[in-house]
């Protein structure tokens, strides 16, 4: 256990403080993604059933007032389905930029080593290169994966919204 902690500390040390930021934002992104899937598969079906039952208990469905109530139900469903999708998209846009910040800080480290030692300190230059590459790679990889899941969640939300609209139209 202590060996893994030491390995993680060394890894984050090589990547610099920006890698820690990428890691924290990546965890936050994954929490949001997992929450959305949990909502879509566990919470939403029950919520939809309640709304459909409320709509079906109404005696009439064609008056202006009834249609506005139906629109309110659909808006409630739409808001619930799209909750946290914008923060997920924002994080997938921020992560590569944060990775580029890691590139800049790593390059600054390399230039400082070159300024002080010239070309003779390969170890210092290697530290700067790792501070440049690790956050960039981590930010891009996490962002690419996040883009896939963001698109999938958007598609599923639109599909479920259309399904809810059909259910409330046929009732």
Whether 1 and 8 have beta carbons less than 8 Å apart is answered as no
The boundaries of the domain holding residue 165 are 68-171
- pTM of the complete model: 0.86
Report if residue 72 sits inside a domain. yes
Report if residue 73 sits inside a domain. yes
Report if residue 58 sits inside a domain. no
Rounded CA separation 167/55 (Å): 10
Rounded CA separation 169/88 (Å): 31
Report if residue 166 sits inside a domain. yes
Give the chain's domain count: 1
121-133 pLDDT, tens digit per residue, is 777 777 878 888 8
Is pLDDT above 80 for 134?
A: yes
Report if residue 32 sits inside a domain. no
């Amino acid at each position: 256990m202590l060996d893994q902690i030491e390995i993680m500390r060394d890894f984050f040390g090589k990547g610099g403080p920006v890698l820690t930021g990428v890691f924290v934002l990546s965890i936050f992104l994954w929490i949001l993604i997992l929450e959305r899937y949990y909502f879509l598969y566990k919470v939403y079906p029950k919520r939809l059933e309640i709304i459909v039952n409320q709509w079906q208990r109404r005696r009439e469905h064609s008056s202006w007032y009834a249609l506005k109530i139906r629109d309110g139900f659909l808006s409630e469903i739409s808001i619930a389905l799209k909750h946290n999708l914008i923060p997920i998209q924002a994080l997938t846009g921020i992560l590569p930029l944060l990775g580029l910040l890691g590139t800049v800080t790593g390059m600054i480290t390399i230039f400082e080593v070159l300024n002080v030692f010239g070309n003779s300190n390969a170890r210092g230059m290697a530290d700067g290169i790792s501070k440049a590459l690790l956050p960039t790679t981590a930010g891009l990889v996490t962002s690419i994966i996040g883009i896939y899941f963001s698109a999938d969640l958007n598609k599923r939300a639109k599909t479920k919204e259309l399904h809810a609209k059909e259910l409330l139209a046929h009732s």
